């Protein structure tokens, strides 16, 4: 199937004034790259979203399974509530801003089912106390890569649905021990033997100072996008970024040049 003709949607989960305001910022600052994409909001039954209705294609109010104290686990309910008439989807956290062309993510989701980037804290079994959950699931603590769930491209298929259903099942099973959705997503992939397409961190850049080669496609941080993040003369050696700060490599005047970092 021609990926350019697929119906595509961007999905947001948001409730409460703080996150609705954050979502509004995301949409306003990402609008140049949302052209041709339907924007879908899934929210609770109480949050005031009247002022977002003019920019959202559709708004769904749902009664979430997970309540106060387990709000992050609501993300595991995502597949239950998405409109099923689309071919490919992009789920975005509200603290993201799209800065460049993201069509590759949709194409890879169409080919592989799921396309995601690794988490900045990439080692799953050393992520806080998640080794306890792995032990309960009889998963070897062997340095599993952790994926970040703030940016997830996916398509519809029985195998993808199985992963999302497993994600929710694991959340229900371990919600007393673990109340964060992200590690459970990686565990769902592992237990379903599902190998997603691994996007570069350019598609989910957390602003923690990781090296950047090429353009940042999606900025993922509560902090502001630093001025000039995608302004550079050469992509290598890499630059680094934090909220409000970009560091570019600077060459020293030595016979054998080395690379150091200095403020922009």
Stretch among 7-11, 22-26, 115-119, 120-124 having the lowest mean pLDDT: 120-124
Listed residue (136, 86, 138, 93) closest to 117, CA to CA = 93
DSSP 71: G
Stretch 23-45: mean pLDDT, rounded? Answer: 97
137's enclosing H/E stretch is none
Provide the pLDDT for residue 256: 46
Give pLDDT, residue 5: 76
> Any idea where the domains of the chain sit in the sequence?
3-203, 224-263
User: Is the predicted pLDDT of residue 70 greater than 60, yes or no?
Assistant: yes
What whole-number distance in Å separates Cα of residue 80 and Cα of residue 73? 13
The per-residue pLDDT for range 102-127, each reduced to its tens digit, is 999 999 999 999 999 999 988 999 99
pLDDT of residue 251: 64
- Following DSSP, what letter does each residue of 148-215 receive, concatenated? EEEEEEEE--HHHHHHHHHHHHHHHHHTTT---HHHHHHHHHHHTT---EEE-GGGSB-SSS-EE-S-
Specify the pLDDT at position 234.
87
| Residue 64 and residue 191 in contact, taking contact as beta carbons nearer than 8 Å | no
- What local confidence, expressed as pLDDT, does residue 6 receive? 83
CB atoms within 10 A of CB 172: 12
pLDDT band, residue 255 (cuts 50/70/90): very low
Res. 252: pLDDT tops 80: no
- Tell me the H-state helices in the chain: 17-30, 78-81, 103-112, 130-136, 158-174, 181-191
Mean pLDDT computed over every residue of the chain: 93
Going from the C-alpha of 101 to that of each of 60, 144, 204, 255, the distances in angstroms are 27, 30, 13, 39
The matching CATH number, chosen from 3.40.50.1000, 3.90.550.10, 3.40.800.10, 3.40.50.10470, for 3-203 is 3.90.550.10
Q: In the chain, what are the helix, strand and coil shares in percent, each to the nearest 5?
A: 30, 25, 40
Q: Does the model's pTM come out above 0.75? A: yes
At residue 20, does pLDDT exceed 50?
yes
Give the pLDDT band (50/70/90) at residue 249.
Answer: confident
User: Collapsing DSSP states into helix, strand and coil, what is residue 97?
Assistant: strand
Q: Is 201 within 8 Å of 218 (Cβ atoms)?
A: no
pLDDT digits (tens, 9 = 90+) for 135-172: 999 998 889 999 999 999 999 999 999 999 999 999 99
DSSP state, residue 41? E
């Amino acid at each position: 199937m021609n990926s350019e003709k697929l119906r595509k949607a961007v999905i947001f989960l948001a409730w409460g004034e703080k996150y609705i305001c954050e979502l509004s910022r995301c949409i306003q600052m990402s609008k140049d790259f949302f052209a041709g994409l339907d924007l879908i909001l899934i929210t609770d039954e109480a949050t005031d979203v009247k002022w977002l209705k003019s920019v959202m294609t559709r708004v769904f109010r749902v009664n979430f399974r997970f309540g106060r104290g387990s709000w992050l686990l609501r993300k595991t309910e995502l597949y239950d509530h998405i409109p099923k008439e689309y071919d490919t989807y992009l789920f975005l956290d509200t603290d993201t801003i799209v800065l460049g062309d993201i069509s590759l993510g949709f194409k890879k989701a169409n080919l592989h089912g799921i396309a995601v980037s690794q988490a900045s804290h990439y080692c799953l079994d050393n992520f806080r106390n998640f080794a306890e959950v792995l032990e309960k699931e009889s998963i070897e603590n062997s340095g599993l890569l952790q994926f970040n769930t703030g940016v997830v491209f996916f398509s519809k298929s029985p195998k993808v649905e199985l992963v999302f259903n497993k994600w929710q099942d694991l959340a229900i099973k371990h919600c007393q021990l673990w109340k964060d959705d992200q590690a459970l997503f990686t565990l769902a992939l592992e237990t379903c033997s599902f190998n997603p397409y691994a996007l570069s961190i350019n598609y989910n850049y957390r602003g923690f100072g990781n090296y950047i080669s090429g353009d940042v496609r999606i900025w993922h941080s509560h902090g502001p996008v630093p001025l000039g993040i995608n302004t550079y003369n050469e992509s290598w050696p890499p630059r680094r970024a934090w909220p409000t700060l970009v560091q570019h490599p600077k060459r020293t005047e030595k016979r054998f040049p080395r690379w150091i970092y200095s403020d922009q």
